[in-house]
Structure 1
Amino acid sequence: MDVDIATVAILGNAGGALIGFAIAVVAARNQDVPGARQYGWLAVAGGCWCALSIWQILVSDPAAVRTVYLLSRTAAMQVIGLWVVFALVYTGRQSWLRPSSLVPLFLVVNADVLLLLTDQAHDLVEVAAVPVTQLGTTLVAIQRGPTFAVLLAVSYGLLLLGYALLIEFLFRSQNVYRRQTAAIIIGTGLPIFVAVLYDFGYTPHPAIDFTPVAFSLNAVLVGWVLFKDESLSVTTLSGDTLVDNLPDPVIALNDDCVIIDYNAAAASALDQPDPDGELLDDLVPGLVDHIERGEVFSFGDSFTYYNPQTTSLTDQSGTERGRLVVLRDVTGQQRRQDRLEALQAATQQFIEAETAEAVAEMAVEFATAVLDQNAAGVFLEDDGILEPAVISESIAEHVEDELLYASPTDEPESKLWKTYETGEIQAVSLDKDGLDPLDNALMLPLGSHGVMAITSHDSTLATEDRRYAAILAQTTQVALDQVERERELRQSRSSVQRRREQIEFFNGVLRHSLHNAMVVIRGRAEHIRTDVPRSKRRHLDSISNWCGKLTEMSETIRDINNTVTASEAERLDAVDLNATLRRSIESLRVEYDSVSISCELDGDYSVQANELLEEVLLSILRNAVDHNNADTPQVTVSVQQASDWLQVRIADDGPGMSDELKTTVFERGLSPDQTAGGFGLYFVSVMMDLYGGTLWFEDNHPTGTVAILEFQQAVTGDEAEDDFGPDDTETAATEAQTKSHDR
């Protein structure tokens, strides 16, 4: 049967045109694929080339054929230029696509077209449209001159440039599209092979070029590889990376979290012999979330812990196309971490335990539950004998009672007692002791408290288990030390409380008896007043005054005792400093006739103190007068602000104080002749310390001494509401206390 070669060419080019335009539409919908936009334009150019080839076959007028040939040649040259652009983009060389590079490229590509358009001006190219009859078909064929060979060489050179870019990219280490690249290189060889055959005369008819049809067939292959076939995308790199005998599961995922490759360990972990092509979340729900969080996890009924390590699989444009996930088996590390966290959490419970039995119970529970040992026991010393405080049920069931007690007189020597006596950890085999099913035990000393024993069915305890057991024993010993200290402290507190109550009782009796005695003495003195000559009654007045002073002193001692024994919150209150200073000064003026006192108060001040503040200030004022040998001692009182502190400065014009005395004047042992009231200054020092304040002496100029009492400034109720919240007030008081201690 005769074959109409023209009909075949027309149908082939028609199909090629449709394929080219269809590929362009698919490319427009897959812009995220590297090179998709450039390949879409390449497909459009190929479709136009096919359509113009049909037109060239159908036209019979030589002049019209020349015109259509010019258009067809233009489309063919754009295919070559766009092929180079596609190769540059696909291989990640977008930076080369600058106007300074593209303009020369397309000038070279379209050199033949430009020469054809300007042929009348230079006559450098020869184009002849000649009817040719071959295989019974007459068509108008285009014949070119010798210049065309040079232009063909340039075109093939550009095609080979694109090939060279793809081949280099194929062997580049970071190429994650090796199979895809190889498919493109192989597929593109078809139109080039057909073009070479046509250009060298191997064609059914000189007027029919099947190169556009071959290009369209190649477009189908390359389009499928680019946009549809996932198996040719990122699989290769994962295949280079995966090691089948790697013990950790390794999974390659595409950007939809579909498994595209895996190793044997992954198939075993997923419990799927062939998980290829499966959604990871369908096999193990929630596994993708674990991987994305990057935290240690386990899944299913497995006690294996995995730490996911993800490597992005990116294309030549830097776009992520998938992930390579390595699930590192960290079961051992996780168990160690769990044990450490459990031990850390239990430490606080150990420290808070109130009895040795509670500590022992927690230690046994921790050893069996967290350290995964079969049994444990804590044996505490009591009157030279180690006795079981808490033991596991299996020990109670399999060990005879007499073996649970130990003393120095045991024969043969008890292993428990030897551990207690030497203070050394001992690993003991129980096989010969008839203690089946317990095979061995680890004896750990608990200091002076006793011994902890941890038993196991295994022949030996692992080194890691021994280490954690030692940590547990140390924690138990610390907790037992704490219980012992708390017991001693409670006993001490109880003893101190009893003594305080006794002292308060006797102080109360003493004050009561003293008060009654002073009342009796004062009453007797008043009773005989009328019988005493008027010239002698001053002695009765002195008796009455001293009775009053002793009564007041007993009340002051009571207040001091209450202040010393009270808590800080109970002993301190906001005290009006201005009013207290005025009362103290007035009292001093009553006691001393010849004294000059000036007081400078520039504001309303309140300090942290109590009702004894007046006695504190009066003691310092008295000290300033008693040590002054002037006929009229001069005393100046002032108040200065020092940040959150208030300084009361009491200056005198006396003889002054030596540097040595300034540091020792507050000592309790000073005799009255050094201070003319040494007990008074010691009392002031004690009270200032209880107030959280400070007291020191400085030189006054030109003579005398300045006593400086520094108090915490009190915040009144209104100020506290305006300036501070409850937490701020507490913070301010704490900072003030810290400043006082730093001075």
Structure 2
Amino acid sequence: MAVEVGIAVAVGSVVGGVISAGLAGAAWRNRSVAGAVPFGWLMAAAAGWCFLGAAWVVTTDSAVAMALFLAIRAASGLIVGLWVVFALVYTGRRTWLTPAWMGAILLVPSTYAVLALTNPLHGLVVADVTLSTVDGQTFFVGQTGPVYTAQTAVSLSLIAVGYGLLGEFLLRTRNLHRKQTFVVLVAGLVTAGVHILFVFGVTPHPGLNVAPLTFAFNGFLVGIALFRYDFLSVAPLAGDLVVDELPDPVLVLDRHETIIDYNPAAATVIADGEDIEGADVDDVAPGLLEKINQGGVLTVGQRTAYFDPQTRTITDQRGTVRGRLVLLRDVTGQQRRQDRLEALQTATRHFIEANQPETVARLTVEFATRVLDQNAAGVFLCNDEGHLEPTAVSDQVEDYVDEELLYVDPEEMPDDNLWQTYETGERRIVSFEGSGVGKLKTALMVPIGDHGVVAIGSEEQTYAPEDKQYAEILARTTQVALDQVARERELRESRTAVQRRTEQIEFFNGVLRHSLRNGLLVIRGRSEHLHDHVPADQQRHLDSITAWCEKLAATSETIRDINETVTASESERLEVIELGEILRRVAQTVSNEWPAATIGVDVNDERVLANELAEEVLLSVVENAVEHNEGVPHVTITTQKAGDWVQLRIADDGPGISDDLKATMFERTLTPNQTGGGFGLYFVSVMMGLYGGKVWFEDNDPTGTVAILEFQRTSERAETESPRADTETTNGPVAEAQSKSHDD
């Protein structure tokens, strides 16, 4: 029977050792996972204890038994120390494992073994083995003394500390970790319980410690935690470590809003690194909870930082609310980008309103110093002499930088950084080391096209990528604003020049018309005076003089109307006219002048937008068609609607016009001999443009040419109102007709 019990204990110990060694190997293969290394060492020590225990049971040699006794004492002490180390790492208390503490934890449980090994030198402890027979079972029994008893008490205390750590962690961890911790606790308690029973003499034989057998069961349970619940890869240490390393503040509050846990970032942000555990959150950060409950981005502490609060309720295993977890996610970067974009939008509106380069430069410096958090900034514009000069600089630039360094003459300073930035058109960062510019260490210089350079100084050595990006955006905005200022200045100068020339033309035209009318009156008066003194057969010459005087006087008035039309605004120059009535008068005038010509008018009573000069325009076109016909002229005038437009078609049967001449008929360079009498076709082209219409030539079938004049039709409202009323407001019928699209 004794042999059977001994064999069972030995075999069980070997099985426990094999399983423990297997777990140690698995932990070594996964040594990169948090908690794997101390667990592996613990299993290796357990495997050694199991194998030593099996040898202790089967040995019959007292010398071997003595050696095994001392080795077992050393292994069991090492297991106790490694158990505490594992518990500390697993529960997230790695910071406790300083070299001094590690040495103490491993050495104290092994004190008896060390003294027993060196006992021949000092004789301080009792360490011996004897054969003992109990109930027919004979095995070696170790003889110990009071030192071993004290050592056992210390070891049991340390084992209890390990279980206390795991028990506390079991209560505060999340469900997944709670399962893992529970399995580890159960496995350890079985082995520890059996060993305690052996210590207190509850055993079949004083020399038989069946605790190593439990490592078979222990290994089975730990294997479940290892492979089923992924014990090592989701070690609870990782959760605490991640929270500790988070740059975002994390607070754990109980139901009374008392801080029961926090990470280093929370202590730094909220309390300048002081211990805040156990403090009321409102005492540490007044108003924080109110801001969190309100939602949205908030600021905490003294530093300029923005946080987005996120909270989560903490419940126990019964679902009872125990507190809440508060995470303050740092959104300073996003908030600063948003603030900068909003500031840039506001600045852009001011840029648009600026009408002087100096104003634009001042706005740029203000934006750089206020939004980009840089106190030193300047805008350097190129003057008329080709030099860069400071148009606007911040106070810090005036204080730190010598004035002569701010003015750049490329002939004297061709290698100056400002000038090189302007000339190459490339952004650059310049170091001020040893340049004597006060606290400034670097400057970011960005070209603004042909205008100059924006320079932003810094007391730091480098610029953040987003600072460079916003500097580029600011430079482009400044360039656009300066371009706009330049264009507006040129436009004002152009308008002034046009207005001046218009006034000059009106003056000389007035003088010319006045002198012409006076001259014609004198000529006509003298002609009438001579009429009674000239033979009857010669009076036709005087009649011709009188007719030309009347014609030139009418032409003078027409020139005045043309001048007024050209210089008038669109709403002033257009009115509603009866196209059919004007065409009939034109046909009559041409027929009187060329009696052989046939002028056919087949038009509807169309109302279009033009003015009183429309009759002169149409007369010029019809006269051109008749005058250039070498035979008996036949001219047909018709109209047709084309959407919002009326096309007037004047067709003749003359020799026609070449394609080259069609393209140049309305140019100013064409001579009167090529276009006929009157004001010519250039006048027609100008007036049709002022009317908002078009004119062009096409071939007639079978011979001749068709002149097509396209007028804007009026709206129905325009047809019921007086023409003169249309010119009084741009919101009247003329404007309505003009707003219609022109289908080219």
State the TM-score, normalized to the length of structure 1. 0.56
Between the aligned partners of 2:473 and 2:413, the Cα distance in structure 1 is 31
SS in structure 1 opposite 2:635?
Answer: strand
Instruction: Answer whether contact 2:421 2:447 (CA < 8 A) is retained.
Output: yes
Between the aligned partners of 1:636 and 1:452, the Cα distance in structure 2 is 69
Return the letter of the residue paired with 2:652.
Answer: D
Between the aligned partners of 1:342 and 1:650, the Cα distance in structure 2 is 63
Instruction: Answer whether contact 1:574 1:716 (CA < 8 A) is retained.
Output: no
- C-alpha change, 1:720 and 1:441, in structure 2 (3 Å) is farther
Residue of structure 1 equivalent to 2:651: 651
- C-alpha change, 1:478 and 1:591, in structure 2 (3 Å) is same
Q: CA deviation at 1:338?
A: 2.9
Between the aligned partners of 2:311 and 2:389, the Cα distance in structure 1 is 56
> Which of 532, 535, 540 is equivalent to 1:533?
535
Instruction: Answer whether contact 1:262 1:276 (CA < 8 A) is retained.
Output: no
- C-alpha change, 1:491 and 1:243, in structure 2 (3 Å) is same
Residue of structure 1 equivalent to 2:127: none
Q: CA deviation at 1:404?
A: 3.5
Q: CA deviation at 1:500?
A: 2.8
Q: CA deviation at 1:260?
A: 14
> Which of 591, 594, 597 is equivalent to 2:596?
594
Residue of structure 2 equivalent to 1:379: 380
Residue of structure 1 equivalent to 2:370: 369
Between the aligned partners of 1:459 and 1:668, the Cα distance in structure 2 is 66
Q: 1:692 and 2:665 equivalent?
A: no
Return the letter of the residue paired with 1:665.
Answer: M
Residue of structure 2 equivalent to 1:573: 575
Between the aligned partners of 1:727 and 1:297, the Cα distance in structure 2 is 53
- C-alpha change, 1:311 and 1:242, in structure 2 (3 Å) is farther
Q: CA deviation at 1:559?
A: 2.1
- C-alpha change, 1:658 and 1:413, in structure 2 (3 Å) is closer
SS in structure 1 opposite 2:243?
Answer: coil
Residue of structure 1 equivalent to 2:561: 559
Residue of structure 2 equivalent to 1:610: 611
Q: CA deviation at 1:571?
A: 2.1
- C-alpha change, 1:435 and 1:584, in structure 2 (3 Å) is same
Q: CA deviation at 1:714?
A: 2.0
Report 1:451-600 matches (<5 A).
451-600=453-602
CA deviation profile, 1:128-148 (whole Å, cap 9, x unmatched): xxxxxxxxxxxxxxxxxxxxx
SS in structure 1 opposite 2:434?
Answer: helix
Instruction: Answer whether contact 1:522 1:543 (CA < 8 A) is retained.
Output: yes
- C-alpha change, 1:242 and 1:413, in structure 2 (3 Å) is closer
- C-alpha change, 1:531 and 1:492, in structure 2 (3 Å) is same
SS in structure 2 opposite 1:480?
Answer: helix
Residue of structure 1 equivalent to 2:121: none
- C-alpha change, 1:326 and 1:517, in structure 2 (3 Å) is farther
Instruction: Answer whether contact 2:259 2:278 (CA < 8 A) is retained.
Output: no
Between the aligned partners of 1:324 and 1:730, the Cα distance in structure 2 is 72
Residue of structure 2 equivalent to 1:714: 714
Return the letter of the residue paired with 1:695.
Answer: V
Q: CA deviation at 1:358?
A: 0.8
Between the aligned partners of 1:652 and 1:532, the Cα distance in structure 2 is 43
Instruction: Answer whether contact 1:666 1:685 (CA < 8 A) is retained.
Output: yes
- C-alpha change, 1:529 and 1:462, in structure 2 (3 Å) is same
Between the aligned partners of 1:482 and 1:359, the Cα distance in structure 2 is 10
- C-alpha change, 1:586 and 1:408, in structure 2 (3 Å) is same
Residue of structure 1 equivalent to 2:243: 244
Between the aligned partners of 1:527 and 1:720, the Cα distance in structure 2 is 51
Residue of structure 1 equivalent to 2:621: 620
SS in structure 1 opposite 2:547?
Answer: helix
SS in structure 2 opposite 1:451?
Answer: strand
Between the aligned partners of 1:180 and 1:585, the Cα distance in structure 2 is 109
Structure 2, gaps ≥5 residues long: 1-173, 180-237, 315-323
Between the aligned partners of 2:352 and 2:691, the Cα distance in structure 1 is 34
CA deviation profile, 1:77-115 (whole Å, cap 9, x unmatched): xxxxxxxxxxxxxxxxxxxxxxxxxxxxxxxxxxxxxxx
Instruction: Answer whether contact 2:647 2:710 (CA < 8 A) is retained.
Output: yes
Instruction: Answer whether contact 1:576 1:606 (CA < 8 A) is retained.
Output: yes
Between the aligned partners of 1:260 and 1:439, the Cα distance in structure 2 is 44
Residue of structure 2 equivalent to 1:352: 353
Between the aligned partners of 2:382 and 2:566, the Cα distance in structure 1 is 41
Q: 1:664 and 2:634 equivalent?
A: no
- C-alpha change, 1:700 and 1:415, in structure 2 (3 Å) is closer
Structure 1, gaps ≥5 residues long: 1-175, 182-238, 314-322
Between the aligned partners of 1:621 and 1:511, the Cα distance in structure 2 is 27
SS in structure 1 opposite 2:377?
Answer: strand
Q: CA deviation at 1:626?
A: 1.9
Between the aligned partners of 1:548 and 1:541, the Cα distance in structure 2 is 11
Return the letter of the residue paired with 1:360.
Answer: A
Return the letter of the residue paired with 1:456.
Answer: S
Q: CA deviation at 1:549?
A: 1.5
- C-alpha change, 1:282 and 1:337, in structure 2 (3 Å) is closer
State the TM-score, normalized to the length of structure 2. 0.56
Residue of structure 2 equivalent to 1:35: none
Q: 1:682 and 2:682 equivalent?
A: yes
Instruction: Answer whether contact 1:574 1:715 (CA < 8 A) is retained.
Output: no
Instruction: Answer whether contact 1:309 1:326 (CA < 8 A) is retained.
Output: yes
Instruction: Answer whether contact 1:670 1:678 (CA < 8 A) is retained.
Output: no
Instruction: Answer whether contact 2:639 2:646 (CA < 8 A) is retained.
Output: yes
CA deviation profile, 1:543-564 (whole Å, cap 9, x unmatched): 1111122222222222222222
- C-alpha change, 1:731 and 1:288, in structure 2 (3 Å) is farther
- C-alpha change, 1:301 and 1:593, in structure 2 (3 Å) is farther
Residue of structure 1 equivalent to 2:635: 635
Between the aligned partners of 2:579 and 2:649, the Cα distance in structure 1 is 13
Residue of structure 1 equivalent to 2:232: none
CA deviation profile, 1:481-527 (whole Å, cap 9, x unmatched): 33334333333333333333223222222222222211111111111
Q: CA deviation at 1:651?
A: 2.8
Q: Larger deviation: 664-673 or 613-622?
A: 664-673
CA deviation profile, 1:451-475 (whole Å, cap 9, x unmatched): 3332222233333323322332333
Instruction: Answer whether contact 1:608 1:711 (CA < 8 A) is retained.
Output: yes
Return the letter of the residue paired with 1:350.
Answer: F
Instruction: Answer whether contact 1:248 1:326 (CA < 8 A) is retained.
Output: yes
Return the letter of the residue paired with 2:379.
Answer: V
Instruction: Answer whether contact 1:624 1:652 (CA < 8 A) is retained.
Output: yes
Residue of structure 1 equivalent to 2:235: none
Return the letter of the residue paired with 1:244.
Answer: V
- C-alpha change, 1:556 and 1:299, in structure 2 (3 Å) is farther
- C-alpha change, 1:704 and 1:406, in structure 2 (3 Å) is closer
Q: Larger deviation: 507-516 or 468-477?
A: 468-477
SS in structure 2 opposite 1:459?
Answer: coil
Instruction: Answer whether contact 1:439 1:459 (CA < 8 A) is retained.
Output: yes
Instruction: Answer whether contact 2:433 2:441 (CA < 8 A) is retained.
Output: yes
Q: CA deviation at 1:638?
A: 2.7
SS in structure 2 opposite 1:668?
Answer: coil
- C-alpha change, 1:540 and 1:444, in structure 2 (3 Å) is same
Instruction: Answer whether contact 1:576 1:607 (CA < 8 A) is retained.
Output: yes
Between the aligned partners of 1:477 and 1:297, the Cα distance in structure 2 is 36
CA deviation profile, 1:405-427 (whole Å, cap 9, x unmatched): 33346589755455445554443
Between the aligned partners of 2:506 and 2:730, the Cα distance in structure 1 is 35
CA deviation profile, 1:328-347 (whole Å, cap 9, x unmatched): 53321332243234324423
Return the letter of the residue paired with 1:666.
Answer: F
Count of matched residue positions in the alignment of Structure 1 and Structure 2: 489
Return the letter of the residue paired with 2:664.
Answer: T
Residue of structure 2 equivalent to 1:131: none
SS in structure 1 opposite 2:654?
Answer: coil
Between the aligned partners of 2:311 and 2:635, the Cα distance in structure 1 is 83
SS in structure 1 opposite 2:697?
Answer: strand
Q: CA deviation at 1:682?
A: 1.6
Between the aligned partners of 1:595 and 1:734, the Cα distance in structure 2 is 36
Return the letter of the residue paired with 1:373.
Answer: Q
Q: CA deviation at 1:683?
A: 1.2
- C-alpha change, 1:275 and 1:590, in structure 2 (3 Å) is farther
